[in-house]
Structure 1
Amino acid sequence: MLYHMPTKLYYGQRCLFDNKKDLILGEKALIVTGKNSARLTGALGEVISALDEYDIPYVHYDEIKENPTYGIVMKGKEIALKEECDFIIAIGGGSPMDAGKAIAVLTANPDLTPDDLYNAETYDVALPIVAIPTTSGTGSEVTPFAVLTKPNGRKSGFKSELIFPDVSYLDPKYMIKMNKGLTLTTAVDALSHSIEGVLSKKSTTISDMLARESIELIYEYLPKTLNDLENIEYREKLAIASTLAGMVIAQTGTILPHSLGYRITIHKGIRHGQATAIFLPFVMEEVDKYEPEKTKMIKKIFGNIDKFFEFLKELGVYDFDITFTDEELELFTKEVMSSSHVKNTPGIYDEKKIKEMYKKISKI
């Protein structure tokens, strides 16, 4: 067994200010963000101040949208090449961090297309990456994964050791501006990472230890945070839980709930974290039939699978109205069955079982 996490991680309040020298990984930075959150949280301002202090020029690319597309990362690559940027600073939630990772590889390998990212054998270099999360959910600041939306509308992740961020800064003060809805969907994304890591066929003793701490923190502090959004202590607990969950999936990858959730994010507009968490109890029930040892820890924390479902329901995870046509069920099921997530999930899954899971969420 192997535990591998090469990212240098600073965490806690003022961690960027106190360790700003490690932000400098080259001679000119491409700062990758969305339109607003990096500015509103203060993270962008602190990064620019640090770069100015060390006389490091930068270009700011702020066009990253949720579920970044090939076009978005290709535009970032062209800017980086034109401006001769030699390192990436990605600030935001999972979308800017994942886009920054893709841009880092594409810029260092100008002849690659986004499709080539999915074959790690086609490249062996990437620009250095700094990651600064402003949400507590994706854990992308400590993973070798990035997710893009392909031209056919499918979300698909790629993996490379080269896109582990070189340095990450985890400061909870960047997260206190998150509204209730974003707080919920990002936190249950982190919860999904940890629970899927425990259930995965690739779980290890160390990944399970990290997952346990993450799940317990979310179980205790997510309800508190939803009722006190600017409590910095609660925010710090969720931030740590999210990063621990990222460390988990860096070892195990994600499993079936992620694949099920991708379809309703793209086609039904339900945000990624919520779309994934919706399916956790149903997949847990299946795993429990075949490998009950894997659900033991989760049942010990929540009481049982039904109580876990009630926990999610009380948080508002199932507050939606969704229906599927027969054509949608056929499409979603075929896409899920062709995904790599299925083979890493304990249990037996066929098209009938996948359709049943989609039908369940339409009846809640």
Structure 2
Amino acid sequence: MLFYMPTKLYYGKDIIFDHKEEIILGEKAIIVTGRNSAKITGALDDVITILNEYNISYIHYNEIGENPTYEMVIKGKNIAIENECDFVIAIGGGSPMDAGKAIAVLAANPELNPDDLFDMNNYDVALPIVTIPTTSGTGSEVTEYAVLTKPNGRKSGFKSNLIFPDVSYLDPRYMAKMNKELTLTTAVDALSHAVEGILSKKATIMSDMLARESISLIHEYLPKSLNDLENLEYREKLAIASSLAGIVIAQTGTILPHSLGYRITIHKGIRHGQATAIFLPFVAEEIDKVAPEKTKILKDIFGSLDNFYSFLKELGVYDFNINFSNEELDLFSQEVLNSSHVINTPGTYDKEKILEFYNNLIK
């Protein structure tokens, strides 16, 4: 068994000020954010206050959208190089953090383009990275993964130990501004990470311990949070659950529901967390047939796999209407079967089984 998580993770209210000196990882920062969330949560203002206190120069790149593209990270790379930035501070949800990771590698290796990121043998250095999450979902603040959208529209993740953030600050205050929809889809993204972690062939005793706690916290506090969005205690529990789930997939990777969900996000516009979570019960049922020990944690927490499905349904995860053309189903099934996620999923999967998963969504 191997457990490796080199990120220094600080947790707590106002934690960034308690350990403010550790955000200074160079002489000039590129702050990578989306257009709004870093500002409205207060995280950006807190970071700028600290940088100004230490007389650290910075440039703010705030053009990262949902599902970051090659164009976005290339622009960030060029800004970082032109302004001689020597470390990255990424603030926001998974998209700004993933984009920040890509920019950290590309700015340190100017000869590379985004396609080169997917082969870790192409680089051996990256700029230092600080991450400050403002959502409770991706866990990118503690993983060696980043997901980009390629020019052909496909989402694809790259992995390198170089993009484990050096320091991350987890403050539930920054999550309190999420609306109900974002709270749900990010939390079930974290749930997907934890559940896929226990189902993965790469699961270990330690990853299962962390996943169990993450799933338990989401089971108890997500429904409460959806009914009381500004309750800081509930936000705290979901923030912890998200980082725990991130630590889990840093060990196990993700499995089939992620690959199935990517197609729904890309082609049907359903947000990543929800698009992944809708497949969790279906894949869990298949795994239960061949490796029932893998689903024990889910049964312990929810009582049964049927109850797990009901939990997601009651949250509104399945509240959408969707249809697929035969051409789409052929494309989706082939892309899923070619993905690396299948290898780490217990059981045997062919085109017929993949089509069954997608057809389960048609009402």
TM-score by length of 2: 1.00
- Quote the residue 1:92 is aligned against: 92
Query: Which amino acid in 1 is paired with 2:263?
Result: R
Per-residue deviation at 1:248? 0.1
- Partner residue in 1 for 2:265: 265
Which SS does the other structure have where 1:344 is aligned? coil
- C-alpha separation in 2, matches of 1:158 and 1:299: 32
The answer as to 2:275 corresponding to 1:278 is no
Distance 2:362 2:240 in 1: 33
Q: Distance in 1 between matches of 2:120 and 2:334?
A: 25
Aligned residue for 1:298, secondary structure, equals helix
Counterpart of 1:58 in 2: which secondary structure?
strand
2:44 alignment partner in structure 1: 44
Task: Give SS of 2:59's match.
Answer: strand
Counterparts of 1:77 and 1:321, CA distance in 2: 39
1:313 aligns with 2:313: yes
Identical columns (%): 75
- The aligned counterpart of 1:58 is 58
Q: Distance in 2 between matches of 1:307 and 1:215?
A: 14
Output one character per residue of 1:50-89: Cα deviation in whole Å (capped at 9) or x when no partner. Answer: 0000000000000000000001000000000000000000
Which residue in 2 is equivalent to 1:142?
Answer: 142
Mapped partners of 1:5, 1:336: distance in 2: 28
For residue 17 of structure 1, report the CA deviation from its aligned partner. 1.2
Aligned match of 1:7 = 7
SS of 1:257's partner is helix
Match of 1:196 in 2: 196
Q: CA separation in 1, counterparts of 2:202 and 2:278?
A: 22
Residue matched to 1:123: 123
The reply to whether residue 105 of structure 1 matches residue 105 of structure 2 is yes
Q: Classify the secondary structure of the residue corresponding to 2:66.
A: coil
Within a 5 Å distance, the mapping from 1:334-349 to structure 2 comes to: 334-349=334-349
Q: Counterpart of 1:170?
A: 170
Aligned counterpart, 1:361: 361
Alpha-carbon distance between aligned partners in 2 of 1:326 and 1:299, rounded to the nearest angstrom: 35
Unaligned runs of 5+ residues in structure 1 are: none
Aligned equivalent of 2:74: 74
Residue 30 (structure 1) aligns with: 30
Answer yes or no: is 1:239 the counterpart of 2:224: no
- Paired letter, 2:4: H
Question: Cα deviation per residue 1:104-157 (whole Å; 9 max; x = unaligned)?
Answer: 000000001101000000100000000000000000000000000001100000
Match of 1:250 in 2: 250
User: Which residue in the other structure is 2:212 paired with?
Assistant: 212
- SS at 2:65 equivalent: coil
The residue aligned with 1:160 is 160
Question: Which letter maps to 1:141?
Answer: E
Deviation of residue 362 (structure 1)?
1.3
Letter in structure 2 aligned against 1:85:
C
SS of 1:201's equivalent in the other structure is coil
Within the alignment, does 1:185 sit opposite 2:188 as a pair? no
Q: Deviations over 1:260-303 (max 9, x none)?
A: 00000010000000000000000000000000000011111001
What SS does structure 2 have at the residue aligned with 1:362?
Answer: coil
TM-score by length of 1: 0.99
Note the C-alpha offset of 1:185.
0.1
- 1:237-266 per-residue CA deviation (whole Å, 9 max, x = no partner) reads 000000000000000000000000000001
What secondary structure sits across from 2:96 in the alignment? helix
Mapped to 1, the partners of 2:200 and 2:11 lie a distance apart of 28
Q: Which runs of 4+ in 1 moved over 4 A?
A: none
**1:337 CA drift (Å):** 0.5
Q: Which residue of 1 aligns with 2:302?
A: 302
Q: Distance in 1 between matches of 2:173 and 2:276?
A: 26
Separation in structure 2 between the aligned mates of residue 88 and residue 362 of structure 1, nearest angstrom: 43
Shift of 1:318: 0.2
Name the aligned partner's letter for residue 75 of structure 1: K
Q: Which amino acid aligns with 1:350?
A: D
Q: Which amino acid aligns with 1:316?
A: G
1:191 partner SS = helix
Q: Distance in 2 between matches of 1:237 and 1:288?
A: 29
SS at match of 1:60: strand
Between the aligned partners of 2:261 and 2:361, the Cα distance in structure 1 is 11
**Shift of residue 358 of structure 1?**
0.3
Answering whether residue 332 of structure 2 is matched by residue 332 of structure 1, we say: yes
Instruction: Give the secondary structure class of the aligned counterpart of 2:320.
Output: coil
Unmatched tracts of structure 2, length 5 or more? none
Superposition RMSD on alpha carbons, in Å? 0.4
**CA–CA separation in structure 2 for the residues paired with 1:314 and 1:163:** 37
1: CA distance between counterparts of 2:296 and 2:264? 29
